[in-house]
Amino acid sequence: MTQLWFKTALLPQGWAGRVRVRIEGGRIAGVETQVEPASGDERHAIALPGQCNVHSHGFQRGMAGLTEQRGRPHDDFWSWRELMYRFLDRLDPEDIAAITAQAYVEMLETGYTRVGEFHYLHNAANGQRYDAPEATAAAIVEAARQTGIGLTLLPVFYAHADFGGTPPAPGQRRFISNLDGFARLVDASEKLLDGDDRIGIAPHSLRAVTPDELKQLLTLRPAAPVHIHAAEQTKEVEASIAHLRARPVEWLLGNAGVDARWCLVHSIHLTEVETDALAASDAAAGLCPVTEANLGDGIFPARRYLDAGGRFATGTDSNIQIDIAAELRQLEYSQRLRDRARGCLATPEEPSVGGRLFRAAGTGGAQALQGEFGIVVGHSADIVSLDADHSSLIERNGDALIDGWIFGSNRPAVDCVWRGGKPVVRDGAHLARAEVATRYRKTLAKLLA
């Protein structure tokens, strides 16, 4: 049994003072408030529940910063994608494990305690299947085990280059599956998981999956999460209208039975009707504001969506930067730049922008990954403590602590992280950071030589 005592903690009912959390078997067995620390308590200042990172491509951490040189008069997502294809052609499962572990270390250090790995790198560099179809999935599971992060593995079905069943391009050969092969891949991948790991289904996008294939995919795991890219690019929206006679999110909402199992990743380019309908569907919008800004994707209509009761979560996607605060800050700042206003995502009932976004992202993320959010009896003990001496947190209380962290920190404010009751981050550094970083450095030295 472990007992943690916090000067203040964010609980489901709000902020509480002098909080003791009792942990047994990796789960929260008791929460007491307004109590003094006991001799056996481990003492900390500020406690928050761990967050879920709903959308990650772990291997892309290895190419962060390598695509920032202009290569053509109009660089965009599509030109970035070509560079990404060239990078992934060099990767083997050991490389994937090393790079993904580095990404997961950094996620835990910022307070993400579960990740949804949108995993599409299935085949060998020549496009042939590995003898063990789950070879690259095993690399991701290895990274999660080494770092201790909770894992919702989302094997991706990818069969076509574009709408209408267009044959895949050469650069996509490592992604490609057929329905039978994908079913075997999901079965084999699920056998790798244990504890509170989860499996989901990820049709890549309506570009890469036909309507009939999507229908069959949804039967593979009827209760599992379903994640899909949707409306990230205007080019995709235009092609969807041409081939399906509907915009991507419009088509999904009208034809795919979208409900609380679903996470529609990005969903940037929406009409007002789509925005309201997505909010009413109980699905989560998987927002990746830092990556979306990096790629020049566009701005999600968060103000209208949240006002309509929509659910959302954040993801680090390309892992160009791994930082919860940066994702939530960019989400708010994008609305401010578009609307030329401040406090866009606050409400009279929830006047703290940071507080509202942190709670909403936590709730939506837990739904999207079938995880848990909150310092609650029975939940996994996924807890983050902040450094009370951080300059952005000094003399703050309540939601002002979250606002200070999200909008005022210029260096990491996370002090310690517990995942399933086990300490994984101390004094801001992951306990396996040195070991993971050494392997990561060797891997990049080989790949970038």
Position 15 pLDDT exceeds 90:
yes
What pLDDT does 124 receive?
A: 93
What would the mean pLDDT of 369-385 be, rounded to a whole number?
A: 99
What would the mean pLDDT of 441-445 be, rounded to a whole number?
A: 95
Residues 229 and 162 in one domain: yes
Q: In this structure, is residue 16 part of a structural domain? A: yes
Report which of 300, 419, 317 is spatially closest to residue 27, judged by C-alpha positions: 419
Residues 180 and 311 in one domain: yes
What pLDDT does 67 receive?
A: 75
Range of the domain at 41: 2-49+379-435
Distances (CA, A) of 181 to 128, 164, 190, 405, 414: 12, 21, 14, 45, 42
Among 340, 369, 398, give the residue marking a domain's end: 369
What pLDDT does 230 receive?
A: 99
What pLDDT does 73 receive?
A: 61
Q: In this structure, is residue 444 part of a structural domain? A: no
Q: Please tell me the distance from the alpha carbon of residue 327 to that of residue 314, in angstroms, as a whole number.
A: 7
73's tokens: 């008069």
Q: In this structure, is residue 448 part of a structural domain? A: no
Among 369, 396, 419, give the residue marking a domain's end: 369
The radius of gyration computed from the CA coordinates of the chain, to the nearest angstrom, equals 21
User: CB 430: neighbour CB atoms within 10 A?
Assistant: 24
pLDDT tens digits along 46-89 = 999 999 999 999 999 998 988 777 766 666 665 656 777 777 78
Residues 75 and 171 in one domain: yes
Position 210 pLDDT exceeds 90:
yes
Residues 40 and 71 in one domain: no
Residues 108 and 230 in one domain: yes
What would the mean pLDDT of 406-417 be, rounded to a whole number?
A: 93
297 assigned to active site? no
What pLDDT does 239 receive?
A: 98
- Looking up residue 426, the CATH number of its domain turns out to be 2.30.40.10
Position 376 pLDDT exceeds 80:
yes
Q: In this structure, is residue 333 part of a structural domain? A: yes
Distances (CA, A) of 60 to 57, 226, 330, 366: 6, 22, 20, 24
What would the mean pLDDT of 283-307 be, rounded to a whole number?
A: 98
Residue whose entry in the numeric block shows the structure tokens 């403590």: 385
What pLDDT does 80 receive?
A: 59
What pLDDT does 284 receive?
A: 99
Residues 14 and 56 in one domain: no
Q: In this structure, is residue 193 part of a structural domain? A: yes
Position 175 pLDDT exceeds 60:
yes
Residues 401 and 362 in one domain: no
287's tokens: 């927002």
What would the mean pLDDT of 103-119 be, rounded to a whole number?
A: 99
Q: In this structure, is residue 440 part of a structural domain? A: no
- Range with the lowest mean pLDDT among 51-55, 84-88, 90-94, 262-266? 84-88
Residues 407 and 264 in one domain: no
Residues 155 and 302 in one domain: yes
Among 369, 391, 420, give the residue marking a domain's end: 369
Residue type, 326: A
- Looking up residue 268, the CATH number of its domain turns out to be 3.20.20.140
Q: What is the DSSP letter of 317?
A: B
Position 164 pLDDT exceeds 90:
yes
What pLDDT does 86 receive?
A: 76
pLDDT tens digits along 344-355 = 999 999 999 999
What pLDDT does 85 receive?
A: 74
Q: In this structure, is residue 420 part of a structural domain? A: yes
Strand partners for 289: none
Domain count, the chain: 2
Catalytic residue among 122, 160, 227, 266: 266
Better-scored residue on pLDDT, 304 or 169 = 304
Q: How confident is the model at residue 180 (pLDDT cuts 50, 70, 90)?
A: very high
347's tokens: 């409400």
266 assigned to active site? yes
Average pLDDT, the chain: 96
Catalytic residue among 95, 276, 297, 317: 317
Residues 120 and 135 in one domain: yes
Residues 265 and 396 in one domain: no
What pLDDT does 90 receive?
A: 85
Q: How confident is the model at residue 446 (pLDDT cuts 50, 70, 90)?
A: very high
What would the mean pLDDT of 230-259 be, rounded to a whole number?
A: 98
Better-scored residue on pLDDT, 385 or 87 = 385
Q: In this structure, is residue 446 part of a structural domain? A: no
What pLDDT does 401 receive?
A: 99
What pLDDT does 95 receive?
A: 96
Report which of 303, 330, 308, 304 is spatially closest to residue 317, judged by C-alpha positions: 330
Residues 331 and 413 in one domain: no
Position 340 pLDDT exceeds 80:
yes
